[in-house]
Amino acid sequence: MIRPGLLLRLVVFTALIAFLAMPDRFAGLLAPLTDNGAPAIYNQGSLVSLTLSHLFTVALATSAATIVAVGLAIFVTRPAGAEFLALSRAAVNIGQTFPPVAVLALSVPAMGFGEGPTRLALFLYGLLPIFENSLVGLSTLPPAVVESASAMGMTGRQRLLKVELPLAMPLIIEGIRLSAVIGLATATIGSTVAAKGLGEVIVAGLQSNNLAFVVQGGVITGILAVLISDGFQILARRTSKRRGASPQASRPATDGQQAPV
Partner 1 sequence: MTTLADAATDGAATPRIDRLGVVIAILMAVALALPFVTFRATRIAAGNGLRLFDALPPTAAAAVGAVLIAALVTAVANRRPSLRLALGALALVALALGAGAAGTHLTPADSPYARIAPGSGFWVGLFAGAILMTDAMVRLKLGPVGRLIALAVTVALVAGLLASGAWSHLSLIAEYRSRADVFWREAINHVILAGGSLAAAVVIGLPLGVVAYQLRAIRDPLINVLNIIQTIPSMALFGILIAPLGWVAANVPGAHAIGIRGIGTAPAFLALFLYSLLPMVANTVVGLNGVSRAVVDAARGMGLTVFQRLLQVEMPLALPVVLTGIRIVLVQNIGLATVAALIGGGGFGVFLFQGLGQTATDLILLGALPPVALAFAAAVVLDAAIEISGRGKA
> Whose Cβ is closer to partner 1: residue 244's or residue 260's?
260
- State how far the Cα of 257 lies from the Cα of 247, in Å rounded to an integer: 19
CA 29, distance to chain mean position in Å, is 30
Report angle CA 185, 223, 23 to the nearest 5 degrees: 110
State the nearest-atom distance from the C-beta of 203 to partner 1, in Å: 8
- Measured from the CB atom, is 120 or 185 closer to partner 1? 185
Q: Give me the residues that bind partner 1 (CB under 8 A), please.
A: 33, 78-80, 82-84, 86-87, 89-91, 93-94, 96-102, 105-106, 108-109, 113, 150, 153-156, 181, 184-185, 188-189, 192-193, 199, 202-203, 205-206, 211, 214-215, 217-219, 221-222, 225-226, 229, 255-261
**50 exposure class (CB count in 10 Å sphere: 0-12, 13-18, 19+):** buried
For the bound state, the minimum distance from the C-beta of residue 63 to partner 1, rounded and expressed in Å, comes to 20
Q: How far apart are CA 121 and CA 109, in angstroms?
A: 12
- d(C-alpha 39, C-alpha 104), whole Å: 31
CB of 255 to partner 1, least distance (A): 7
Q: Where are the alpha helices (DSSP H) in 164-210?
A: 165-189, 199-207
Closest CB to partner 1 among residues 129, 217: 217
With respect to partner 1, which residue has the nearer C-beta, 170 or 183?
Answer: 183
